[in-house]
Amino acid sequence: MGKKIGLNEAAECLRKAKSVIITAHVSPDGDAIGSTLALCAYMRAAGKKADVVIDDKLPKNMAFLPGYDAILRPAYYKGSADLLVIIDTDTSRIEGVAEIAKGLPVLNIDHHISNNEMADYIFIEKRAAACEMVYEILTQLKADITLDIALPLYTGLATDTGFFKFSNTRSSTMRAAAALIDAGVQPNVVSEATEAKSEAIVRGQMAALQTMEVIAGGRVAGLFLGWELMQNIESTDGFIDMVRVIEGVDVAVLIKCVDENVCRVSMRSKGLDVSKVAGEFGGGGHIRAAGCTLKMALPEAKKEILEAIERALEA
């Protein structure tokens, strides 16, 4: 168990650091990528050595963000650092980055209530997105919010709030977004870039929808993507939203095989606390959005997750 810190102490950790590795969770989304890229841009502008290292494929719809092409996989990181900064997750979901950063002190910046609190310095706040927290830290550091910083931060805010329509949107979120727009962000550019889909992704969505099942009297809807099907799917970004919007559905679930015996699970809800369901399997997240990884084949993973969801609904 590490030391819980506040905004001032988190800012001071970064001020003191001379060289950092910045990482986020596997299956990185707009908030994970936006927050890490923005912090990296600030650290470099402050004359420090900084690299973003993420142990997973990156969604192509984030390629418009400055710094995207410089994000490394662990095997390609050859430098050294004096601090590991984990953003938008905890120590359990950074995979191979943990190995290259072994022995480093860890600063954890997260807005998830299920954080395992295993870092050395833990800054957790209830915010709409990790990008909102990074914005607050940079404001505390009196950073010059250039477009290279503002664009990734706004992207994370927008995507984690469903473009400001989800229940996690707060007045502080909108104030941060307004400041980032003042810094030069064009909201239409972000929405067009992040919503753009290749033909391959659209065809992947069509194939994924063929796996859809609705259970529990219409309260649960899911997509279940086996290993063979996943070989032909470029990205699953946004897939879960295709079933989340079904009338009467409280819980939407996406299970995808990333190996023949490893499945990643994403859940979204309108009422149920899915972070507790994810927690049963070593995962976590928000009350309304959570996930976990199961080291088992799809049929077993599907059975385990659906039974856990149904138990939670009955309770």
pLDDT per position as a tens digit, 299-312: 999 999 999 999 99
pLDDT tops 80 at residue 1: no
Among residues 293, 312, 201, the alpha carbon closest in space to that of 254 is found at 293
The per-residue pLDDT for 83 is 97
The structure tokens listed for 50 are 């900084």
Q: How far apart are CA 29 and CA 276, in angstroms?
A: 21
Taken in order 97, 103, 108, 114, is the CA torsion positive or negative? positive
Which backbone phi and psi does 266 adopt, to 5 degrees? -120, 140
Task: Please answer whether residues 35 and 163 qualify as being in contact, where contact means their C-beta atoms are separated by less than 8 angstroms.
Answer: no
CATH C-level class of 199-314: alpha beta
Q: What is the pLDDT of residues 133-187, one digit of tens each?
A: 999 999 999 999 999 999 999 999 999 999 998 888 999 999 999 999 999 999 9
The per-residue pLDDT for 113 is 80
Share of the chain above pLDDT 70, in %: 100
Pairing of strands 83-87, 289-294: unpaired
Neighbours of 141 (CB within 10 A): 15
What is the pTM for the complete model shown? 0.83
The per-residue pLDDT for 246 is 95
Task: Please answer whether residues 47 and 132 qualify as being in contact, where contact means their C-beta atoms are separated by less than 8 angstroms.
Answer: no
Domain assignments of the chain as residue spans, ordered by start:
3-195, 199-314
Task: Please answer whether residues 192 and 165 qualify as being in contact, where contact means their C-beta atoms are separated by less than 8 angstroms.
Answer: no
Domain at 3-195: CATH code: 3.90.1640.10
pLDDT tops 80 at residue 65: yes
The per-residue pLDDT for 221 is 97
Task: Please answer whether residues 125 and 286 qualify as being in contact, where contact means their C-beta atoms are separated by less than 8 angstroms.
Answer: no
Task: Please answer whether residues 113 and 275 qualify as being in contact, where contact means their C-beta atoms are separated by less than 8 angstroms.
Answer: yes
Task: Please answer whether residues 137 and 114 qualify as being in contact, where contact means their C-beta atoms are separated by less than 8 angstroms.
Answer: no
The per-residue pLDDT for 20 is 98
